[in-house]
Amino acid sequence: MTTNQLTIAMPKGRIFEEAYDMLIDAGFDLPKTMDISRKLMLEIPGENIRFILAKPTDVPTYVEHGVADIGIAGKDTLLEQQRKVHELLDLKISNCHIASAGLPQTKLDDIAPRIATKYPNIASAYYREIGEQVEIIALNGSIELAPMIGLADRIVDIVSTGQTLKENGLVEYDYITAVSSRLIANPASYRMKNKRITDLVRRLKKCVK
């Protein structure tokens, strides 16, 4: 049985509010404030929408597997994971960039410089492209620690305000790529619920600033 309910995978945390406000701006009738601190699923019967609240890096997984029809994911996650999803719209929220950074006035003159990152695929692709042979050290967070304690020569990470780099005595070296949140869709859902999804894209597009 097919249902016309739209399941939307939303990133929990700081992107949630911006994305949720955009949906309200686009005219969706959603509760104005929402305490999502403990909730993992929210039903909005009036709009025939269900939200799944996921860890940001898991959103493309839910969408690829079709348990969410659409989702909001960072371009960083999409580039890193290369999942089979359609990218429908750049929402231009949570704008930041991926950069390499390290201790000031240091050169990459080792035989195989060590690069610490949560983005091993993006980092490998970048250094391959610039012809630098590197050793990638995959970490899950607090990446800025790596050069400070001698684990790596450079990090490849998200830079938003630049505050984390500054507070930890690091400087940016290379700007790698721009990042913002994207609306993504499961390819089968996009075909089967095309009218609902294209309507949502059209409405959100008007709210992109």
Binding region for ligand PRP (CB under 6 A): 141-144, 157-164
Q: Which is nearer to ligand PRP, 97 or 203 (CB)?
A: 97
Q: Where are the alpha helices (DSSP H) in the chain?
A: 14-25, 59-64, 75-81, 120-129, 145-148, 163-167, 187-192, 194-205
Please state the φ and ψ torsions of residue 163, each to the nearest 5 degrees: -65, -40
Q: Considering the complex, what minimum distance in angstroms separates the CB of residue 113 from ligand PRP?
A: 20
Q: Considering the complex, what minimum distance in angstroms separates the CB of residue 160 from ligand PRP?
A: 3
Q: Considering the complex, what minimum distance in angstroms separates the CB of residue 162 from ligand PRP?
A: 5
Q: Which is nearer to ligand PRP, 131 or 141 (CB)?
A: 141
Q: Considering the complex, what minimum distance in angstroms separates the CB of residue 114 from ligand PRP?
A: 18
Q: Which is nearer to ligand PRP, 117 or 189 (CB)?
A: 117
Query: Measured on CA atoms in the order 168, 17, 93, 191, is the torsion positive or negative?
Result: positive
Q: Which is nearer to ligand PRP, 133 or 142 (CB)?
A: 142
Could you give the strand order of the β-sheet that contains 135-138, starting from the edge strand earlier in sequence? 135-138, 114-117, 154-159, 96-102, 171-179
